[in-house]
């Protein structure tokens, strides 16, 4: 089934969902689509095995930004680099930074504050949102390949918690700005990715409830990825037992897709379906094929 929905552009976009359902693929798809529309796009991966640059056939370069030929830039944010950037911005002088953060005791104190790595990475993505060239925004859109479901709730909630815990100062003010951006439906959208199987669907429903109802975050679209192709018409064919079994398996899968579609549509988000492609490793051509099937 061809899906269609127009996603209103948001400056700050985050993609989350169960592990392995296609978050990075969807982040790349959104980036490709925005770049094709002439936007300057930065995709942020968060201290992970880089997945986006290789999808475009480009070698990642540690924590450095890579500008892909398709007009998308991608960066893998590492907490240590994020901390250095933040500290240099706030403490101004490299010597002072060294004095404070090259001290192993202070460094481990900072690193062992629960959630500090996440806050630093989110903070760096947030800084990219404010980045300017000649007084104009450097990026039209920042897309964050966010952590998977289990981790994403604490990740999204972090600025609010830190803001409440730290009563005054830079951190208090910065986290208020971050939370302001994350909860602003005019500037931010969180897209969910699911697969058409019972467990990922269940997880998506729970994630949706918690992000929207508990945290009040603005949700964007829901991507149902890995949708298997429909079964060809086989009526009247005399199938051998082995083939009949395969057909029965396909039929069960098709039923699971119908059920997933029914449950996910009930959330009332724009639902975009992406087919399961027959590829061991997706390439940029596969991404283009996925793009042609949805209107973003």
What is the 3 state secondary structure string of 158-195? HHHHHHHHCCCHHHHHHHHHHHHHHCCCCCEEEEEEEC
Distance CA 172, CA 163 (A): 5
Task: Determine phi and psi for 189, rounding to 5 degrees.
Answer: -140, 140
The C-alpha atoms of residue 270 and residue 163 are separated, in whole angstroms, by: 32
Which of 219, 14, 28, 195 has the alpha carbon at shortest distance from 122? 14
Exactly one of 35, 121, 282, 287 binds ligand ATP (CB under 6 A); that residue is 282
Q: Which of 110, 148, 215, 289 binds ligand ATP (CB under 6 A)?
A: 148
Choose the contact partner of 152 out of ligand ATP, Mg ion, none; CB within 5 to 8 A by kind: none
Which residue, 207 or 274, has its beta carbon nearer to ligand ATP?
274
Segment near ligand ATP (CB under 6 A); pick from 21-29, 213-221, 228-236, 247-255: 21-29
Rounded least distance, CB 138 to ligand ATP, Å: 26
Query: What contacts 111, CB < 8 A, 6 or more positions away?
Result: 79, 117
Among 13, 16, 24, 152, binds Mg ion (CB under 5 A): 24
CA 234 to chain centre: 39
Closest-by-Cβ residue to Mg ion is: 24
Q: Segment 169-228, which members bind ligand ATP (CB under 6 A)?
A: 225-226
One residue of 274, 287, 294, 296 binding ligand ATP per CB under 6 A: 274
Sorted by sequence, the CB contacts under 8 Å of residue 249 that are 6+ apart come out as none
175 binds Mg ion (CB under 5 A): no
The span from the CA of 224 to the CA of 177, in Å, is 32
Show the site string, 34-73: x = touches ligand ATP by CB under 6 A, - = not. Answer: -----------------x----------------------
Using CB under 6 A as the binding criterion, the count of chain residues that bind ligand ATP stands at 17
Q: How far is CA 39 from CA 7, 54, 138, 286, 287, in A?
A: 14, 21, 10, 21, 18
Interaction between residue 19 and ligand ATP (CB under 6 A): yes
Stretch that binds ligand ATP, among 17-25, 31-39, 132-140, 164-172 (CB under 6 A): 17-25
Both tokens of residue 238?
């005399």
Smallest gap from residue 35 Cβ to ligand ATP (A) = 18
Burial of 220 (0-12, 13-18, 19+ CB in 10 A): buried
Token readout for 172 is 């208090």
Query: Is there binding between residue 74 and ligand ATP (CB under 6 A)?
Result: no
Candidates 46-54, 76-84, 104-112, 175-183 — which segment interacts with Mg ion by CB under 5 A?
A: 46-54
Strand 66-67 relative to strand 72-77, pairing: antiparallel
Which of ligand ATP, Mg ion, none has residue 279 at its interface (CB below 5 to 8 Å by kind)? ligand ATP
Binding site for Mg ion (CB under 5 A): 23-24, 51
Binding site for ligand ATP (CB under 6 A): 19-25, 51, 148, 225-226, 274, 276-277, 279, 281-282
């Amino acid at each position: 089934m061809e899906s269609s929905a127009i996603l209103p552009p948001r400056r700050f976009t985050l993609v989350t969902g169960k592990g392995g359902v296609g978050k990075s693929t969807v982040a790349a798809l959104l980036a490709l689509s925005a770049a094709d529309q002439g936007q300057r796009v930065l995709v942020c991966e968060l201290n992970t095995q880089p997945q986006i640059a290789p999808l475009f056939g480009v070698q990642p370069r540690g924590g450095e930004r890579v500008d892909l030929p398709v007009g998308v830039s991608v960066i893998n944010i590492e907490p240590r680099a994020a901390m250095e950037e933040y500290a240099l911005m706030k403490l101004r002088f490299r010597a002072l930074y060294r004095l404070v953060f090259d001290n192993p005791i202070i460094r481990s104190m900072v690193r062992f504050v629960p959630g500090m790595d996440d806050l630093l990475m989110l903070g760096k993505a947030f800084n990219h949102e404010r980045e300017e060239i000649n007084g104009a925004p450097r990026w039209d859109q920042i897309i964050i390949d966010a952590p998977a479901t289990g981790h994403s709730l604490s990740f999204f909630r972090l600025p609010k918690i830190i803001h409440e815990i730290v009563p005054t100062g830079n951190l208090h003010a910065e986290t208020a700005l971050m939370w302001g951006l994350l909860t602003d439906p005019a500037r931010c959208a969180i897209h969910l990715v699911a697969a058409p199987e019972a467990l990922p669907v269940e997880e998506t429903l729970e994630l949706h409830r918690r992000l929207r109802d508990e945290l009040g975050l603005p949700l964007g679209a829901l991507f149902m990825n890995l949708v298997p192709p429909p079964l060809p018409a086989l009526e009247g064919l005399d199938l051998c037992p082995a083939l009949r079994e395969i057909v029965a398996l396909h039929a069960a899968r098709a039923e699971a897709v119908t059920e997933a579609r029914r449950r996910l549509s009930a959330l009332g988000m724009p639902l975009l379906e992406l087919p399961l492609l027959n590829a061991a490793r997706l390439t940029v051509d596969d991404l283009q094929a996925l793009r042609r099937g949805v209107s973003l």
